[in-house]
Chains A and B, each alone.
Chain A
Amino acid sequence: MDRRNILEELKKVLYPYTENKELLQNINDDTNLVKDLKINSANLVDIIIDAEAKYNIEIDFDSAEKIITVGNCIDAIAEKIK
């Protein structure tokens, strides 16, 4: 699965945690989850849990702490499913 596919799937994971859905249309690797998408930082763990369930993977705590942008998210997922 290439990064573009992961990005499209990631939008579905982010959807319930994003107040302004329109912001999801144009996200890219540099989009900051908290600053740009206005996601509550407490919800980052829920996003990781949902992504883990979706791809049947485990993202360890240390990797999870590095997830700040959409690109970081894709990196973490891509590394586990390759």
Chain B
Amino acid sequence: MSRRVVITGLGVVAPNGVGVPEFLASIRQGVSGIRYQPGYKDLHFNSQVSGIPVFNWDLLKNYVSEITFHGLQGHALGYGIMAALDAWRDAGNSVGGSETLWDTGCVFGSSVSECDVVKKIITRVDAGEAKKLGSRVIEQMMNSSITAYISGRLGLGNRIVATSAACATGTQAILMGYEYIQQGVAKRMVVGSSEHVDPYIFGAFDSMRILSRKFNHVPEQASRPMSQSAGGFVPGSGSGALILEDLDFALSRHARIYAELLGGACNSGGQRNGGSMTAPAAPGVIRCITDAVTNAGVSPDSIDLISGHLTATAADPLEIQNWCLALGRNGRNFPPVNSLKSMIGHSLSAAGSIESVAAVLQIVHQFVHPNINLEDPNPEILRQIDIGCLPTTMVEREIRTVAKANFGFGDVNACLIFSKYNQNG
């Protein structure tokens, strides 16, 4: 028996909006969340802009107990807790019950440990003061810290999995949650990912010379996916979370259904055929997209919108070419394509989950969010698709099916197919 999986809750902490209402308003209007980071000049970074959520840390007192809040320090952890619990409440659930929810699990990903927090440990230990670290360090340093906090707060008793697949982390986590429900392992899954790019991670990317460095004086223009003037990505931070449910389970509790997750695929190009640690192999990407479309049971022609990975590096034209080949569509026959990264930058492991929240919102509210900073589309892209496929202002139109993909270091790919919920299947 094939189970249908629907989305019943959304939560987001993004550079251009904390909470779904603010985020929705921002992506409709094309509001940038990229800001100048004054301290980065003193650190001699070439790029001095990034997308960091305007996050009121004290609000976490409404999410965890006072005792837990005392001593909480990881930013990615804070973002993840807020996004996941917002999604949970958005789905009509309460927080803090005394029962273990055996039917409900969590797949939540992150890419790197927070060097800020690690630094405090290293400083203490090197000073011979390990004794002063206390009981709260390990629980926040373990790779599974975010899933441990979320599942503990909600009482989740099904599979609790912390994942990591670089920039494909969020997309992959959502797909894993979908698969657990499809297989009948779980009825409901809290899925998503979280990222905080601190100066140490930022500096390491800066050294790779793949960050946008020519727009420090106009930060909101720094992230320019698909444009000829794109000169690298802008790191972003934040978290996105979704509540996935078995359709029958959702119907039985009269949940509001935002959209359906029809299916997806996840693979690797094996770092062969042009693929490497940092570059995706075209055959892997194409196969991932076609597998996702096949798995979802839709025709490539039914895709109404592509939410691309499209980071604003030299890989953008190749990504468009891969979409063209995978879907067998080009020119005017290509669907609209947008990159949320134009507004919030590239939030690495959180990109897939924040962009999936955006994809679902575009289905619910029937619009295509703009690509900001796309005054000068890359000619290599315009050779493949019509300029009309690159909206620079918000477009209201019927959106039934969205393809969302992300590609990460290590040559890993993930693609999801979201659809408007139709009760007749």
Contact = CB atoms under 8 A, between A and B. Distances in A.
A23 B165 CA distance: 46
A55 to B, nearest CB: 14
A43 to B, nearest CB: 6
A7 B134 CA distance: 22
B146 to A, nearest CB: 19
A46 interface: yes
Contact of B66 (A16, A42, A45): A16
Main SS class of interface, A: helix
A43 B70 CA distance: 11
A45 B67 contact: no
A16 B132 contact: no
A46 B136 contact: yes
Chain B interface size, as a band, is 10 to 19
Interface string A22-44: 00000000000000000010110
B71 interface: yes
Main SS class of interface, B: loop
Interface centre among A18, A46, A52, A53 (most CB of B within 10 A): A46
Interface of A: 16-19, 40, 42-43, 45-46, 49, 52-53
Contact of B67 (A40, A49, A52, A53): A40
B66 A46 contact: no
Nearest to A46: B134
B65 A49 contact: no
Contact of B135 (A19, A43, A53): A43
A45 to B, nearest CB: 5
A45 B70 contact: no
Contacts of B134: 45-46, 49
A19 B136 CA distance: 17
Contacts of B66: 16, 19
Given A40-B67, A45-B134, A46-B135, 9 more contacts: A16-B70, A17-B67, A19-B65, A19-B66, A43-B67, A45-B135, A46-B134, A46-B136, A53-B132
